[in-house]
């Protein structure tokens, strides 16, 4: 079976974990600090604050801006539920917005209209790693004094007009889940250029603590969102070679796109000019009338692991029951949730694997995958 993702660790990872274990410092220790510094330098940002996941990173960013009950937060509808969960866990009101049908990114026209509701914050999502339209979103929010938080869970190494993800907005939140191209097993990170914000993020992730020597003072209610040094050690050994990993993934994605060009019923995610896509996932949208779920089953029968792209939150009970979406206006997001398909993409794939993926998809579609309802 050709897998969607394939994290691989060598002896350097085993050695790094061994050094942590023998040190006796297993959580929020020197290796976490090294990992934070290494990724801050990679992204070109001053401060990085490691957490337990991208979800808790987003929640910390919201908490550090005192966003909670009575506050409105805008976010795209087409995203993993973690984006919305972080908002709802803070007790804030969530409003879900439409996305572009070709890039899958937050629709800036829909955003501009929703800003009339005077939100406290906007969460822009870098879908499958493709950075959001920050060139338009940042100034739009800055003019109105609205906080921009970037859900950069998938986009480590992405760029917009030569500016690397991690430097946009008040805070950028990353994930190191096993499907990510740099993984710590579980883990996340918030990046920011604001020193005061970084200090509060560090305080909040550790029970609201400020330390002076050996003494802790608990100055505000906080969380236990600390990363372990074991997880950080796994991430740290990958940083030196991460640029090569990104180059390999982009090259493979380009070749797969060219290989699929003859399939009229398959359209890859469109990459806007000036955007550099790190391809945490390679996602296509199938033509209307093709049953995406049946296609996934057919691909797996042919030895190719695949899955849906991601979710339209307004169709999920947790968000529908809380009336997070407008009555109309999320048709593109809903269609993408039904028709997007993630194909294997990782640096261990060989040329013949790309051919296997393409042939399996061609065969699955040619064999008469049952038609789904339009939309």
Cα angle, residue 257 at apex, residues 253 and 260 outer, rounded to 5°: 140
Neighbours of 263 (CB within 10 A): 17
Task: Give the chain as a 3 state SS string.
Answer: CECCCCCCCCHHHHHHHHHHHHHCCCECCHHHHHHHHHHHHHHCCCEEEEECCHHHHHHHHHHHCCCCCCCEEEEECECCCHHHHHHHHCCCEEEEECECCCCCCECHHHHHHHHHHCCCEEEEECHHHCCCCHHHHHHHHHCCCCEEEEECCCCCCCEECCEECCCCCCEEEEECCCCCCCCCCCCEEEEECCHHHHHHHHHHHECCEEEECCEEEECCCCCECCCEHHHHHHHHCCCCCHHHHHHHHHHHHHHHHHHCCCCCCEEECCCCCCEECCCCCEEEEECCCECHHHHHHHHHHCCECCEECCCEHHHCHHHHCCCCCCCCCCHHHHHHHHHEEEECCCCCCCHHHHHHHHHHHHHHHHCCCCECCCC
Evaluate if pTM is beyond 0.85.
Answer: yes
Res. 157 pLDDT band, cuts 50 70 90? very high
Mean pLDDT calculated for residue range 302-314: 98
Q: What does the pLDDT look like over 103-133, one tens digit per residue?
A: 999 999 999 999 999 999 999 999 999 999 9
Q: Kindly indicate the confidence band of residue 375, based on its pLDDT and cuts at 50, 70 and 90.
A: very low
Q: What is the mean pLDDT of residues 8-31?
A: 94
pLDDT tens digits for 170-211?
999 999 999 999 999 999 999 999 999 999 999 999 999 998
Instruction: Please tell me which of 302-306, 328-332, 368-372 the model is most confident about, judged by mean pLDDT.
Output: 302-306
What are the sequence ranges of the domains in the chain?
A: 11-236, 242-366
Decide yes or no: CATH 3.40.640.10 for domain 11-236: yes
Distance, in Å, from the CA atom of 169 to the CA atom of 102, rounded to the nearest integer, reads 24
pLDDT category, 372, cuts 50, 70, 90?
very low
Whether the domain at 11-236 and the domain at 242-366 fall into the same CATH topology: no
Over residues 340-355, the pLDDT tens digits come to 999 999 999 999 999 9
Residue 116 is predicted with a pLDDT of 96
Give the mean model confidence (pLDDT) for residues 360-371.
Answer: 81
Give the pairing of strands 121-125 and 147-151: parallel
Question: Please, which pLDDT band fits residue 373 given cuts at 50, 70 and 90?
Answer: very low
Percent of the chain with pLDDT over 90: 93
Determine the pLDDT at residue 374: 39
Q: Domain spanning 242-366: which CATH class is it, in words?
A: alpha beta
Mean pLDDT of the residues in the chain: 96
Q: Give the model's confidence band at 326: pLDDT under 50 very low, under 70 low, under 90 confident, else very high.
A: confident
Asked whether the CA dihedral 283, 289, 294, 298 is positive or negative, the reply is negative
């Amino acid at each position: 079976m050709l897998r969607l993702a394939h994290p691989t660790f060598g002896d350097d990872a085993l050695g790094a974990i061994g050094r942590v274990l023998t040190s006796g410092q297993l959580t929020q220790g020197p290796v976490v600090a090294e990992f934070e510094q290494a990724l801050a330098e990679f992204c070109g940002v001053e401060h990085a604050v490691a957490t337990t996941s991208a979800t808790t990173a987003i929640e910390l960013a919201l908490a550090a801006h005192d966003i909670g009950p009575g506050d409105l937060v805008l976010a795209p509808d087409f995203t993993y539920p973690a984006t919305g969960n972080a908002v709802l866990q803070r007790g804030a009101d969530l409003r879900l917005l439409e996305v572009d049908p070709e890039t899958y990114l937050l629709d800036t026209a829909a955003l501009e209209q929703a800003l009339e509701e005077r939100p406290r914050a906007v969460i822009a999502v870098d879908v499958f790693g493709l950075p959001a339209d920050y060139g338009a979103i940042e100034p739009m929010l800055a003019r109105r004094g609205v906080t921009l938080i970037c859900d950069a869970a998938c986009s480590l190494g992405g760029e917009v007009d030569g500016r690397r993800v991690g430097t946009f907005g008040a805070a950028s939140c990353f994930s190191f889940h096993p499907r990510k191209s740099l993984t710590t097993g579980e883990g996340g990170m918030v990046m920011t250029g604001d020193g005061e914000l970084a200090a509060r993020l560090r305080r909040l992730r550790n029970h609201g603590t400020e330390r002076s020597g050996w003494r802790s003072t608990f100055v505000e209610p906080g969380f236990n969102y600390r990363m372990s040094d074991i997880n950080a050690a796994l991430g740290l050994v990958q940083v030196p070679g991460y640029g090569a990993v990104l180059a390999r993934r982009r090259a493979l994605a380009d070749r797969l796109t060219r290989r699929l060009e003859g399939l009229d019923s398959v359209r890859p995610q469109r990459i806007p000019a000036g955007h550099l896509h790190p391809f945490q996932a390679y996602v296509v949208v199938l033509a209307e009338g093709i049953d995406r779920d049946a296609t996934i089953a057919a691909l797996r029968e042919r030895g190719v692991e695949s899955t849906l792209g991601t979710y339209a939150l307004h169709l999920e009970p947790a968000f529908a029951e809380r009336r997070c979406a407008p009555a109309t206006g999320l048709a593109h997001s809903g269609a993408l949730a039904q028709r997007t398909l993630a194909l294997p993409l990782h640096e261990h794939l060989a040329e013949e694997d790309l051919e296997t993926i393409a042939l399996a998809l061609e065969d699955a579609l040619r064999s008469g995958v049952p038609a789904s309802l339009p939309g």
